Every structure is written in structure tokens, then in C-alpha cells.
Amino acid sequence: MEKFLRDIGLKQNQHVMIHAAYRKIRREFPGLNIEDFLRIIQDIITPEGSVILATFSYCFAKVNEPSKIYNPDETPSKVGAVSEVFRKMPEVIRTASATHSFALWGRASGEIQPDNAPESPLGEGSVLEWLSRQQDAFILMLGTDFLSLSFCHYLETMAPVPWHDTFPWAYLGIRPAGVSIKGEQELHEVPGCSKSFVNFENYLLNRKIIHPFRYHSLFGYFIHVGLLLEHGLSFFRSRPLELLCPKNQCSACDSRRQNKIKK
Ligand SMILES: [Zn+2]
């Protein structure tokens, strides 16, 4: 695993956001547990760089039933086994956002405060904004595609796409507010559906702007954040409709499309 990661470009002092599907990693690296996998990455990057994982728990205020209350020390991550192990590792801090928290290690954990909980969860003031401002920032995707690329939600707020502030989840019985042990916080620019981010992925692939790597059945990307910002802002501004699911297939995307027509 260490040689593999070095071969795809992982180096010391980089700030790296990781999206990893452990089931797919285990198939090619049998016997490697999640903690060892993360320690290998930390050893390569060193504490001068940063390891960042999303630990979203989606503790939104519910309309008709009691809300789940986010506690950074206890609430499990809902975005994968790797993030759930990482948030409990030594010297890792977890941010206070009730809906879209991150676990941080290395320089990010010193520069981003644990009480980080911006009103725009993945926009201005967020961990993703911090990442976008670092020179040596990368996104490592192992066994996942752009469906799980949270950075695209930051691009939605930056572009901004026409529905950046349309809350698309009302049909689930929730409100645009996060609920944590510190109380309730109104939110705006709540991230929507990410299924169509694969259209942006295909756009980058077709133009050979990004190059996937393969290790037997394990597929992924190691992408410079500056590259995603540059091509993402241009794509998100010129072709926003391609970031929504086709009509009548997804309530969240339909509500956003409807709002754009009204505007
Ligand atoms: Zn959708």
C-alpha cells in the first residue's frame, strides 16, 4: 500500500482529503485494516501536511419528530467505515457541524478550529474552503467515483449554481437547520443530491484533464484541488443543469430544477 500510494503521487507536506471505499481496498490489499491504512497515509504525509475525511452525520432539525442531536465525540459518521475509524484516532479532531462535520489531522487540525460549523456547511468558512486555499492540496479517491466527491458541493456554492440556496430535502421531513449539543443552527446552501457529479467526472475524463489509476480491481483518482477549482467553476457555471438528475427521477433535484424555472 505504501509503495502504491507513493507511486500515484502522495508525498510529505501535502493536504489530502480522502474518499475511500474500504471493501474495495480490502479486495486488493487483504489483511490491511483501516487503521493501518490511515497510518500509512499519515506517515507519508507527516504532520506538516493534513489528512482530512468527511464525517457527515446529517443531524438536521426534523419537522414532525424529535431531532437527533450531534455530539462530535459520539455521533457516528454516516459516510463510511474509514471515516468512522479515522475520527477516533489519536490527534484527530472533529469539527462541530451537526450535518457536515470533518475529521482533521496534521496542519489542518491546528488551523481549523474544532468549533468550525459554518452556516453554509460546505461553502464559505468550511473545511473545503480552507482546503481550496492550500497550494499543495489534493483529493485522493480510492474505490469511489465523483458521487462521493464533497468538493463539488463547495464548487456549487462558489459558482454559484442557480439553486445553491434552494433546500431540496423538505420532502424528507427535515428543515434547513442543524441540531447539536450546542443547540440549533439555521443553515443555508445546504448540499443537495450528488448523483450527477459523475457528469462532471466524465467531462474531465473525456478531455483527459484527470487520469484515473488502477490497481487490479481498485480504481481511483489523485487530483490537485487547484485543477478541480479551475475546471469545476467553468463547468458548474456553464452547464449547471448537468448537475441535476434527469426529470422525475429524484425529488431533491426536481425541487431545485423547479426553483430555477420560477426564478
Ligand atoms: Zn438527484
Ligand 1 centroid–CA 168 distance in Å is: 9
Please indicate, yes or no, if residue 198 is contained in any of the structural domains. yes
Q: Which three cell numbers stand for residue 216?
A: 487490479
For 44-102, the pLDDT digits (tens) are 999 999 999 999 999 999 999 999 999 999 999 999 999 999 999 999 999 999 999 99
How many domains in the chain? 1
175 CA to centre of ligand 1 in angstroms: 18
pLDDT band at 232 (very low <50, low <70, confident <90, very high): very high
Please count the other Cβ atoms lying within 10 Å of the Cβ belonging to residue 137: 24
Residue by residue, DSSP assigns 109-176 as HHHS-TT---SSTTSTTSHHHHHHT-TTEEEEEES--GGG-THHHHHHHHTT-TTTT----GGGTEEE
Residues 173-211 pLDDT 10s = 999 999 999 999 999 999 999 999 999 999 999 999 999
- Give me ligand 1 centre to Cα 93, in Å: 31
- Amino acid 114: pLDDT: 96
Percentage with pLDDT > 90 across the chain = 97
Name the band, by pLDDT with cuts 50, 70 and 90, for residue 263: low
- Pairing outcome for strands 15-20 and 137-142: parallel
**Average per-residue pLDDT for the chain:** 96
The alpha carbon of 52 and the centre of ligand 1 are apart by a number of angstroms equal to 26
Residue 120 forms part of a structural domain = yes
Query: How far, in Å, is the centroid of ligand 1 from the Cα of 254?
Result: 7
Does some domain include residue 214? yes
Q: Are strands 15-20 and 50-54 parallel, antiparallel or unpaired?
A: parallel
Q: Report CA(163)–ligand 1 centroid distance (Å).
A: 13
The Å distance, Cα 165 to ligand 1 centre, comes to 16
Domain that holds residue 128: 2-56+75-164+194-262
Domain-embedded: residue 9: yes
Q: Is residue 112 part of a domain?
A: yes
The model's pTM: 0.97
Looking at the predicted structure, is the pLDDT value of residue 261 above 70?
A: no
